[in-house]
Amino acid sequence: MSASKPLDYESPHKKSAKKFILKEYIQLTAGPANFSDRVLQALSMQCLNPLSKEMHLMMDEVKAMLQYLFQTTNPLTLVNQTSGSGGNESILTNLLDSGDKLVIAVGGTWGEKVQDMAQRYAIDVLAIRKPPGEIFTLEELEDAVKSHQANLLFVTHGESSGGTLQQLEGIGPMCHKYDCLLAVDAVASMGVDPLYTDRWQLDAVCTASQKAIGSPPGLCLLTFSPRAEKRIKAKKTKSPYYFDMTRQGLYFDCFVDDHSRQYHYTFSSNLLAALREALAQVCEEGLSEVWERHKRNSEYLWKKMGDIGLECFVEKVQNRFHGITCIKIPSGIDQLELLKFVKDKYDIEIAYGHGPTLNKAMRIGLLGQNSRPEVVDYLVQALKDGMEQLIKRGTN
């Protein structure tokens, strides 16, 4: 046989394939948050066969910890290998058919994204909106559900683009009075502010791995009530293959009448192992303690921001989300220059405004292991120094 033909394209690293090393930063953006050493060690393990008994055991452990995290006994509690946005799309496409009626409570970017998703599937959408910094009342939500004869109400719990926390208690029973399901985007809020899936009668809840839970991006975590599971199985049209919860539910052994654990797609054992360790750390600390820690440190942050002349974007304290705080940009200060200074000198990353806070506020995330008073103190020092230096440079 003749020798192999030459390649059409040569590797850009043919002469020198150096190891790529990332500089570490304190991630105080809207996510992802920094990982613990325990999570990093789990990521470095060898991969598992996705159908092995070891993989199934890890899936079972993760499912049990997720039920604790979601505060639910829902059998259909599982992980899908996608982003939080993919989780929201999973909820829409498993609970609704084309032409079904959806009410979306839009409080920022994430509600807008869900509206876009729903319209692509020809779902009949009614979007209701509130000004930045405000949340919906139960009466406003009920009026929308009733007038639109909704099949599903979709609410964002912690709105990371605007820094608000939507109150959920009472919404579930209201929805069920009108034969409407309640779905909650808890991507940013899970492990930060209290959420009780069963107690509050939430039918579908989605979160993601990379926020306060503290594991790498790439996994969405979902739970569906028995009422929602019944709706999923009664759908007239099939859900998108990858997002089909009946198939992924079989893989995670979620159905009492079928324990076949059928393969759906190749699941990353490394991402799942990292998630397992992150969830174990939440369980060891205790969920109530985790919630209280985030509340305590965010309130400490608000006070310290005031001490250096900075103001919260969300004026009503009762409307503030305890995971991500939006801080108004000081008059005359270039936000991008300030964030660059803080990153270059102090190795801290902060997020600029997004959606309702674009060009109005910077977003500071105290999520997971970054929710600590010493982190707040270091951040305040960095911001104070940054503002003083920018003023000296004449950028104000």
Please give the chain's pLDDT, 396 residues, in tens. Answer: 556 788 888 777 666 667 778 899 999 999 999 999 999 999 999 999 999 999 999 999 999 999 999 999 999 999 999 999 999 999 999 999 999 999 999 999 999 999 999 999 999 999 999 999 999 999 999 999 999 999 999 999 999 999 999 999 999 999 999 999 999 999 999 999 999 999 999 999 999 999 999 999 999 999 999 999 999 999 999 999 999 999 999 999 999 899 999 999 999 999 999 999 999 999 999 999 999 999 999 999 999 999 999 999 999 999 999 999 999 999 889 999 999 999 999 999 999 999 999 999 999 999 999 999 999 999 999 999 999 999 998 744
| 119 Cβ contact list (under 8 Å, min separation 6) | 125
Same domain membership, residue 301 and residue 277: no
What integer pLDDT is reported at residue 277 of this predicted model?
98
2, part of any domain: no
Same domain membership, residue 273 and residue 158: yes
Same domain membership, residue 197 and residue 68: yes
Same domain membership, residue 49 and residue 152: yes
Same domain membership, residue 273 and residue 298: no
Same domain membership, residue 206 and residue 91: yes
14, part of any domain: no
Query: From CA 215, how far away is CA 218, in angstroms rounded?
Result: 9
Domain final position from 227, 249, 284 = 284
Q: List binding-site positions.
A: 363
Partners of 124 in beta bridges? 101
For residue 340, give the CATH number of its domain: 3.90.1150.10
Tell me if residue 324 falls in helix, strand or coil: strand
353, part of any domain: yes
Same domain membership, residue 260 and residue 112: yes
Range of the domain at 314: 26-32+287-393
Same domain membership, residue 295 and residue 280: no
Partners of 351 in beta bridges? 363
Same domain membership, residue 243 and residue 367: no
Domain final position from 264, 284, 304 = 284
Decide: 197 and 162 in contact? Cβ < 8 Å: no
200, part of any domain: yes
Q: List binding-site positions for substrate.
A: 363
5, part of any domain: no
Q: Which of 48, 84, 79, 81 is nearest to 249 (CA)?
A: 79
Partners of 78 in beta bridges? 222
Cis amide linkage into residue 216, ω under 30° from 0: no
139, part of any domain: yes
What integer pLDDT is reported at residue 12 of this predicted model?
73
Same domain membership, residue 53 and residue 141: yes
Domain final position from 268, 284, 300 = 284
What integer pLDDT is reported at residue 396 of this predicted model?
43
Q: What are phi and psi of 20, to 5 degrees?
A: -85, 120
Same domain membership, residue 383 and residue 372: yes
Same domain membership, residue 188 and residue 55: yes
The CA dihedral of 242, 248, 251, 253, to the nearest 10 degrees, is 180
| 102 Cβ contact list (under 8 Å, min separation 6) | 92, 96, 118, 123, 124, 125, 126, 150, 151, 152, 153, 154
For residue 178, give the CATH number of its domain: 3.40.640.10
Q: Name the domain count of the chain.
A: 2
